[in-house]
Chains A and B, each alone.
Chain A
């Protein structure tokens, strides 16, 4: 199973690079997506692969929380893979360029799966850095001056951040000399034996390192640039899957703190950065001129909300995990739709986009409904998760903090809402009006994502609930 997830996509990617054939490219991309969909089902049915090397299962495993994050990544990846077919078409990519894109995106997905499945802290670090390197190539895929700038800032800032996370891992090894292992199971089992001082120092480093990757304020500098300059399906993956995988790394480290009964220290850091991220995104949301950057700032906001949820301990964790799922799906839908807008208007400037509903009603409605999903209108699950977080403030006796939280969330809601409505309504400029019809790959992925979101909020299927519940019981 694990070999399928980690090795097969690499093989398929290399095949497509060698073959340089459009059909092979599509088979590699969609085939990997289908295998990824099949894996959680096989896991749910307890199908065990008999032939796999033991070292592979020592270092990589599906645990409950890993399975949950893997499912989210798979849904986002599938939608991005299908949308990529539309991306290939509108950019008239040659078979060779397509093959390169497919290889890069498959390597990127494999590195994220590596982060999710690692059972060893340092190996998790290796894959986090690998995911930075593979995604940097994708950000620069369109080979424009601006995307080069974005890719450079991204790869350099994140590499420095992740190098600091490695310092954190070494510092942790000072505090856990007698444990002499970086396997999470050993660290969890003997968490109380780790020297609290070194554990706290190491957390500070790991927090800064992975926090850079997650894109929380004040270490978010790369995020708006990278998300706005990457091709739309890649932006969807960056926001919907990459940030989550780094977050999972941090959650695994947080569990050491919970077991060592030092979580009041880590929760404080989560709360401060979460609130700061909310504030930064609220401030910037009102003055943005680029709609893809707007989505990027919304990612910073949602990562802030997740951090706050984690900080609120057991009351907030369920909300945070539900929010992870809801944010990933809604944001993927928004980024993919922004690809359609870019196709119609050839600009990312908010001022130059008007009358989206008249230009293309399907894109217009997808844009509006996805916005409603991300800001948390009922019946979308973000409404539930935000509501639960406000409740968790109450239960933790920090009800006064719910006021700034609510205020920032409302400001972001206003900022995004006014921008999206401004773009959707009004008269469509003549230059953009006549276009060929959109193929299904340009709107079906978003539609499916939004339907899944509605289903989760209105009537969550038992299987999804089981996986979500499994993720919450990961924490003691």
Chain B
């Protein structure tokens, strides 16, 4: 069951590579949050209830509902429909995405052979999520996509932390979540300001500051 969920997570990332409508990105983000929630409740049995409660709150409420809803309202308000032309065309992006996917599986196989006690599939797919979100950030031009891909990067990191059983203290977990939440909030504030001041939100318009 968990394997299917993880494969779905990986596939959702491939889907992001293929679409250009921003709303589809947000829906995928919410979907990923929900998959992570299912993973948390299905797969982890041994940690204490406080941590389970916290993790499910984080994934179900914050990652699946609050942040996607927040981003949805921003997108609706600013009437951004789709991603303007990426630096590399969709076709080549998909080829690169497949390469990253294969790399993730190689990492999973490799992790299975080492004796480090990591869950191979979790590890491989999380590597794939992290690398492909970084690639998407570099390859996309609109700022809102950057924010969405940053969230996907965070999902990848969350999955990676699930692949290792070690637990962080609750205080630290709370801090991490607070940082993430404030971070997204701040991104959106800046995004709105950039919309106002630059009359657009493409990263290649932010070129006032340079060394000459």
Contact = CB atoms under 8 A, between A and B. Distances in A.
Interface string A92-135: 00000000000000000000000000001011011101100100
B208 interface: yes
Contacts of B66: none
A166 B166 contact: no
Would you call the interface of chain A mostly helix, strand, loop, or mixed? helix
A136 B186 contact: yes
A120 B212 contact: no
A224 B211 contact: yes
Interface string A148-177: 111111011001100100110010011101
Contacts of B193: 140, 148
Contacts, number: 107
A153 B179 contact: no
B36 interface: no
A287 interface: yes
Residue from the set A126, A153, A173, A293 with the largest chain B CB neighbour count within 10 Å? A126
B187 interface: yes
Would you call the interface of chain B mostly helix, strand, loop, or mixed? helix
B156 to A, nearest CB: 9
Interface string A138-149: 001000011011
Interface in A279-293: 284, 287-290, 293
Contact of B176 (A122, A151, A173, A180): A122
Nearest to A59: B171
A228 B168 contact: no
A255 interface: no
Interface residues of B, number: 39
A120 B157 contact: no
Contacts of B212: 287, 289
A288 B212 CA distance: 6
Given A55-B171, A160-B150, A163-B157, A174 B118 contact: yes
B149 to A, nearest CB: 10
B42 interface: no
A150 B209 CA distance: 8
A152 B182 CA distance: 14
Nearest to B160: A170
Interface string B131-169: 000100100000100100010011001001100111011
A123 B172 contact: yes
A149 B208 contact: yes
A167 B183 contact: no
Contact of B186 (A155, A163, A174): A155
B117 interface: yes
B183 A159 contact: yes
Contacts of A229: 209
Residue from the set A59, A123, A149, A290 with the largest chain B CB neighbour count within 10 Å? A149
A137 interface: yes
Contacts of A126: 172, 175-176, 178-179
Residue from the set B117, B178, B186 with the largest chain A CB neighbour count within 10 Å? B186
B160 A167 contact: yes
Interface string B50-87: 00000000000000000000000000000000000000
A155 B182 CA distance: 12
Nearest to A159: B183
Contacts of A156: 146, 150, 187
Contact of B179 (A133, A152, A160, A175): A133
Interface of A: 55, 59, 120, 122-123, 125-127, 129-130, 133, 136-137, 140, 145-146, 148-153, 155-156, 159-160, 163, 166-167, 170, 173-175, 177, 180, 182, 195, 198, 224-225, 228-229, 284, 287-290, 293
18 contacts: A120-B169, A120-B172, A122-B168, A123-B175, A126-B176, A130-B179, A136-B186, A140-B190, A148-B194, A149-B208, A156-B187, A159-B183, A160-B150, A167-B130, A173-B166, A175-B116, A177-B164, A290-B211
Interface of B: 116-118, 130, 134, 137, 143, 146, 150, 153-154, 157, 160-161, 164-166, 168-169, 171-172, 175-176, 178-179, 182-183, 186-187, 190, 193-194, 197-198, 206, 208-209, 211-212
